[in-house]
Amino acid sequence: MNNPKSKSRKNGLEPVENSVPAPLPLDVSLDANLQALEQRIGQSSDVVIRRFTNESLSSLSLAFVYIDGLVNSETINRTLLQPLMETFTPEGASITPDDAFSLIKDQVLPIGGVKEGKTLESLLALLFEGYTLIFLDGLQQALAADTSGSEKRSINEPTSQGVIRGPKEGFTESLRTGTSMLRRRLKTSDLRIEEYKIGQRTQTGVALVYINGLASEQVIAEIRRRLDAIHTDAILESNYIEEFIQDGGLTPFPTIQNTERPDAMAGGILEGQVGILIDGTPFALLAPSTFFNFFQSSEDYYQRFDISSFLRLIRYSAFFVSMLLPALYIAVTTFHQEMLPTTLLISLAAQREGVPLPALAEALLMELTFDVLREAGVRMPRTIGPAISIVGALVLGQSAVQAGLVSAAMVIVVSFTAISNFVIPSLAIANSIRLIRFVMMLIAATLGLFGIMSFLMVLLIHMAGLRSFGVPYLSPVAPMTPRYLKDIFIRVPLWNMTTRPKTNLGKETRRQGPHQEPKPAEGKPQPEQGGSSS
Amino acid sequence: MVQTETKGLGLMSTGRKLGLKARAARCLVCTLVCTSMVTGCWDDRELSELGITSGSAYDWEDNQWKATYQVINPSSGASSMGGGGGGSGSSPPFLTFTVKGNTIMDAIDRSNLTSTREMFFSHSRVTVIGEKLARRGINQLIDFFLRKQDARETVYVFIAKGNAGDILNQLMQLTKNQGAGIQLMIEQEARLTSYFPGVRLFQLAMALSSESGSAVIPEILLTGDEIMDETSETGRTDLPSRLALGRLGVLKGDRLVGWLSQQEAFGLSFLTNKINQASLSFPTQPETSAKIDGSFLLQHASTKIRPVWENDHYVMDVSITGSGVITEIGSPMDLNNRASIAQMERTIGENILETVKQSWVSVKRLNADVTGFAMTIHRSDRKRWKQIEADKSWDEVFGNIEIRPRIHVSIERMGLSNKSFKTVQQD
């Protein structure tokens, strides 16, 4: 772990630093500027440079530069080309380049975002965002007009976090779409969106979203600090950010949630969490997150509280099943046969009779097979989906049992474990459990139930020590705050949840007024006289 | 993309505590390796290495212990879906091993000479003691059960007349696991008929070590002459020979001293408050005919015993209360008539009283305190008990005990009809 490699990684920032040249001020000459530009971005075929002159600007030379594909050519034609090519000054008036610049900027361009740039660097940054640069001959600055309009995926249903009841729109890859979705849900002036550009080469937009007053100041400051500290060349997905900012430490547990659902994100932000949207991925982050957040699904709040509570309890049991079942099978069949009911033991013994492998090998074989199948299912082209299930279910499951390689009980254990794993709403924690499961199996095979118990304790101690941006990972259970258990193991009715979870608390703690439970109007419905007398 | 991979690992090196963490990780790895090497899986037992015994029987033969183990044969299991493959229907559901040794453990160890599997006793359900062994004394057996790690004290104990090992060879119908079958039989009997209480090994040990020093063990026997021990014979609907519960063996000290018949055992169940549910037959019209033509299902019964010292001996005030339902009436009767119900209650009560008295006579004859009176007296009259203990005169005191049973039976329901069907017909 601490070999020379990691040291070089620590200092591995140099190549990134070297690739960034010093800011280059623009030249007076248009030709020189364009040349410098071409030199910087090479002869890339998607860069469009168009030069022209306009009579009314005393035949000044102009040039536009934009990147095809990042811009909306309709906008360019209508709002740049057309006005610039028209005559817009009294005939014969002679204009200096300075006048022309302010004229174009202030009068000619019917376009929202127009910026100025004096260095090639700043202009290039805008160019890559889809702006069109307008250079004027004889001027040491240039204009950049917002013509961005690249191809975008339309808003679709989230694929990883589906609900039956509830909004069906998910984030898209576009950061702007994401912030707009949140803005539409949280129509409050306290909503803050702070943008960062992270990654030397990708310049990925990252937006910090929170509600001023709800989110804890310290947490926001800490996230800002950690975001600022990221020094890397590329951010391609939210996990890049997640790994850079999550509380360090060797832990299999995620301490930052990710979600594809704007409604889940809005819910989190309203509870004082801080959202982080990343350009180029539909998965946004929510922090700080505790262990129990990973068992809450946004649908919990879209259906009756009793049903949600029941489902949530099922999820917690599924968590334990998914983590422990194969380990328990191994422990019980190799160490603690006396713990099983006799009939079950005999039936297990009958199945194990022809199996040549010890229970651990049998379990590892099947669990690994399942994970291979699952991975294959994710990576393969959609069209061969049925083939995978046939191979998985029939060829591997059925015939492995018939061939006497594994026992039927093991197949049941593996499938139940797998299905339990799918019940957990957060893929992040489900994957952690997958990993823990294997460790648990090995421990069960060496130390039996005693080992399972010890390892569970070690896990618990580890979790109790974890923190997500200062919030204890197991709060509000450890440290125990009974008042905030209303949304942990069960979900109480909404009218009973009057305060926000303490864990992420900012200044404003009250979510809604008390005593909102539905009840009949005051007093009994009475005959008319009775009613009038009181 | 190489960059991203290093970042994945970078998690560990982000903090400044690299050295500390690496050390902790190395420590953890060492511990894990050591645990698996040192403690390791030395005591693991795969299911296929175990001979799961479902019952054991002990006899005394040629001055040696003869132990018989009934080992479940997993490959005959009904779930042929398993990897068993060759689970042919003809293989018997269990196999028995008979081994002899100077001690019980000696015998078990010798079983390893004949069996491919390690004997595993945690799932034993029954243990059968041969009469000869029971007459010789069973304290060593009890000691063995209490001492051995994987032997359970919850096994049901039975006595077999003759060779106990034969009982374990008999196939049972409707069950593959015969040990569990016998257990079910005795549990069901104790719940529904209450003739014999099921006696578990720890109960036996407790009874024998209590003040009474006596205990009972139900007898298990074969109803026919031959042993049905071939799988093909389970294909028959009616086996000529079955396992059945017979009498009740009475132990004093740790030896068998005699037997109580079923009826006497039933009376003893009343005396020891072991009645759960029982069916009683009685004459519905004792004045006119002694014909037994009615049935009463006793659903609740409880017995209270109060010892009273009278002059020179103890009199036990036994008060039995019971209630239940009438399940059958064979004579014309009008159940609207309260008097006839009272009459039936009286008859039932007298029947029970008779049974209890008979039983008491037999118990007294054996002079074994299977009623647990010693404990009752110890609890109610500590002074005198100390005296008795000092004099070692309990046998004598017990021989002089009189019982004064009183009974109150109430009929709670009579089913749907207030008239017997015979009355309906005659009308």
pLDDT digit string, tens, across residues B12-45: 444 455 577 788 888 888 877 776 666 656 678 8
Q: Is residue A441 part of a domain?
A: yes
Nearest Cα residue to B284 out of B235, B218, B217, B351:
B351
Cβ–Cβ gap A353/B83 under 8 Å? yes
User: Is B155's pLDDT higher than 90?
Assistant: yes
Stretches where chain A sits below pLDDT 50 are 1-16, 530-534
The pLDDT assigned to A529 comes to 57
Residue of B nearest to A330 (CA): B46
The pLDDT assigned to A11 comes to 43
Cβ–Cβ gap A234/B39 under 8 Å? no
Give the CA radius of gyration of chain B: 30
The pLDDT assigned to A93 comes to 64
Q: Report how far residue B220's alpha carbon sits from residue B212's, in angstroms, rounded to the nearest whole number.
A: 24
| Residue where one domain finishes, among candidates A247, A265, A289 | A289
The pLDDT assigned to A21 comes to 60
Q: Is residue A517 part of a domain?
A: no
Q: Which of A236, A337, A446 sits opposite B47 (nearest CB)?
A: A337
Q: Is residue A23 part of a domain?
A: no
Decide if B174 touches A, using CB distance below 8 A.
no
Beta bridge partners of B320: B303, B407
| Residue where one domain finishes, among candidates A472, A498, A520 | A472
How distant, in Å, are the alpha carbons of A368, A426, A449, B150, B153 from that of A337? 25, 35, 11, 10, 17
Structural domain total, chain A:
3
* Chain A neighbors of B36, CB-CB under 8 A: 442, 446
The tally of CA atoms less than 13 A away on the side-chain side of residue A221 is: 5
User: Is B1's pLDDT higher than 80?
Assistant: no
The pLDDT assigned to B11 comes to 43
Share of chain B above pLDDT 90, in %: 41
Q: Best interface-test mutation with B: which of A338, A346, A466 has the largest number of B CBs within 10 A?
A: A346
Q: Please identify which residue in the block is written with the tokens 């489900």.
A: A430
* Chain B neighbors of A231, CB-CB under 8 A: none
Nearest Cα residue to B70 out of B140, B6, B155:
B155
Q: Please identify which residue in the block is written with the tokens 């459990």.
A: A433
Q: Please identify which residue in the block is written with the tokens 């009294």.
A: A90
Q: Which of B11, B41, B44 sits opposite A243 (nearest CB)?
A: B11
Statement to judge: residues A284 and A315 lie in one domain: no
Nearest Cα residue to A235 out of A265, A267, A200, A262:
A200
What is the per-residue DSSP string for A477-509?
TTTT-GGGGGGTTS---GGG--B--GGGB-S--
The pLDDT assigned to A190 comes to 92
The dihedral built from the CA positions of residue A351, A354, A358 and A363, taken in this order, carries a sign that is negative
Distance separating the N- and C-terminal Cα atoms of chain A: 81
The pLDDT assigned to A534 comes to 42
Distance from CA of B194 to the nearest CA of A (A): 26
**A497 with A486: CB under 8 angstroms?**
yes
Residue-range definition of the domain harbouring residue A275: 175-289
Decide if B12 touches A, using CB distance below 8 A.
yes
* Chain A neighbors of B50, CB-CB under 8 A: 337, 349
Statement to judge: residues A267 and A348 lie in one domain: no
Worst-scoring range by mean pLDDT, A353-362, B77-86, B104-113, B313-322? B77-86
> SS3 letters for B396-407?
HHHHHCEEEEEE
Cβ–Cβ gap B177/A342 under 8 Å? yes
Which amino acid is residue B368, in one-letter code?
A
The tally of CA atoms less than 13 A away on the side-chain side of residue A118 is: 0
Q: Report how far residue B103's alpha carbon sits from residue B111's, in angstroms, rounded to the nearest whole number.
A: 13
Taking the mean position of all CA atoms in its chain, how far away is CA B1? 71
Residue of A nearest to B124 (CA): A342
Distance from CA of B199 to the nearest CA of A (A): 20
Cβ–Cβ gap A404/B83 under 8 Å? yes
pLDDT band at B240 (very low <50, low <70, confident <90, very high): confident
Sort residue B62 into left (φ over 0), alpha (ψ -120 to 50) or beta: left
**Helix or strand (DSSP H, E) at A198:** strand A191-198
Q: Report how far residue B396's alpha carbon sits from residue A351's, in angstroms, rounded to the nearest whole number.
A: 60
Cβ–Cβ gap B48/A249 under 8 Å? no
The pLDDT assigned to A213 comes to 86
Distance from CA of B80 to the nearest CA of A (A): 8
Nearest Cα residue to A301 out of A455, A481, A493, A150:
A493
Nearest Cα residue to A226 out of A208, A214, A213, A209:
A208
pLDDT, mean over chain B? 85
Statement to judge: residues A190 and A264 lie in one domain: yes
Decide if B16 touches A, using CB distance below 8 A.
no
Decide if A461 touches B, using CB distance below 8 A.
no
Q: Report how far residue A387's alpha carbon sits from residue A373's, in angstroms, rounded to the nearest whole number.
A: 11
Nearest Cα residue to B94 out of B115, B73, B68, B125:
B73
Q: Is residue A528 part of a domain?
A: no
What are the pLDDT digits (tens) for B251-302?
998 899 999 999 999 999 999 999 999 999 999 888 888 888 889 999 999 9
Q: Is residue A312 part of a domain?
A: yes
Q: Is residue A526 part of a domain?
A: no
Q: Which of A233, A250, A351 sits opposite B25 (nearest CB)?
A: A250
The residues in A 438-457 lying below 8 A from B, measured between CB atoms, are: 442, 445-448, 451
Q: Which of B4, B85, B152 sits opposite A354 (nearest CB)?
A: B85
**A207 with A277: CB under 8 angstroms?**
yes
Q: Please identify which residue in the block is written with the tokens 């960062």.
A: A196
Statement to judge: residues A321 and A441 lie in one domain: yes
Statement to judge: residues A276 and A181 lie in one domain: yes
Helices B373-380 and B382-391 meet at what angle, rounded to 10?
Answer: 130
Statement to judge: residues A181 and A140 lie in one domain: no
Name the token pair of B214.
Answer: 């006596």
User: Is B50's pLDDT higher than 70?
Assistant: yes
What is the per-residue DSSP string for A115-180?
EEESBHHHHHHHHTTTEEEEEETT-S-EEEEE-B----PPP---SSS--SSS------S-HHHHHH
Residue of A nearest to B48 (CA): A353
Statement to judge: residues A55 and A140 lie in one domain: yes
Sort residue B137 into left (φ over 0), alpha (ψ -120 to 50) or beta: left
The residues in A 118-137 lying below 8 A from B, measured between CB atoms, are: none
Q: Report how far residue A52's alpha carbon sits from residue B267's, in angstroms, rounded to the nearest whole number.
A: 121
* Chain B neighbors of A280, CB-CB under 8 A: none
Nearest Cα residue to A435 out of A368, A377, A378:
A368
Residue of A nearest to B20 (CA): A2
A381-385, B175-179, B194-198, B235-239: which has the highest mean pLDDT? Answer: B194-198
What is the per-residue DSSP string for A385-418?
HHHHHIIIIIIIIIHHHHTTSS-HHHHHHHHHHH
| Residue where one domain finishes, among candidates A146, A166, A186 | A146
**Helix or strand (DSSP H, E) at B131:** helix B131-136
pLDDT band at B2 (very low <50, low <70, confident <90, very high): very low
Distance from CA of A20 to the nearest CA of B (A): 18
Q: Is residue A497 part of a domain?
A: no
Cβ–Cβ gap B46/A350 under 8 Å? no
CA dihedral A488, A491, A496, A500 (to 10 degrees): 40
What are the pLDDT digits (tens) for B89-124?
567 888 888 999 999 999 888 888 888 888 888 999
Distance from CA of B400 to the nearest CA of A (A): 47
Q: What is the value of pTM for the model shown?
A: 0.82
Q: Is residue A490 part of a domain?
A: no
Map residue B18 onto helix, strand or coil.
helix
Helices B139-147 and B104-114 meet at what angle, rounded to 10?
Answer: 70
Distance from CA of B33 to the nearest CA of A (A): 11
Statement to judge: residues A248 and A134 lie in one domain: no
Cβ–Cβ gap A447/B15 under 8 Å? no
Statement to judge: residues A313 and A275 lie in one domain: no
The pLDDT assigned to B80 comes to 44
The residues in A 309-348 lying below 8 A from B, measured between CB atoms, are: 333-335, 337-338, 342-343, 345-348
The residues in B 338-397 lying below 8 A from A, measured between CB atoms, are: none
What are the pLDDT digits (tens) for B364-382?
999 899 998 999 999 998 9
pLDDT band at B79 (very low <50, low <70, confident <90, very high): very low
Statement to judge: residues A97 and A47 lie in one domain: yes
Mention every residue, 6+ apart, whose C-beta is less than 8 A from residue A44. none
Q: Report how far residue A180's alpha carbon sits from residue A171's, in angstroms, rounded to the nearest whole number.
A: 10
Q: Report how far residue A328's alpha carbon sits from residue A452's, in angstroms, rounded to the nearest whole number.
A: 8
* Chain A neighbors of B77, CB-CB under 8 A: 346-347, 349-351, 353
Statement to judge: residues A198 and A97 lie in one domain: no
The pLDDT assigned to B4 comes to 39
Cis before A479? omega within 30: yes
Residue of B nearest to A243 (CA): B11
Statement to judge: residues A424 and A448 lie in one domain: yes
Q: Report how far residue B201's alpha carbon sits from residue B289's, in angstroms, rounded to the nearest whole number.
A: 46
Task: Read off the pLDDT of each residue in B139-148 and give the average, rounded to a whole number.
Answer: 91
Q: Best interface-test mutation with A: which of B21, B47, B72 has the largest number of A CBs within 10 A?
A: B47
Task: Read off the pLDDT of each residue in B399-409 and give the average, rounded to a whole number.
Answer: 92
* Chain B neighbors of A442, CB-CB under 8 A: 36
The pLDDT assigned to B10 comes to 41
What is the per-residue DSSP string for B204-220?
HHHHHHSSS-EEEEEEE
User: Is B415's pLDDT higher than 60?
Assistant: yes
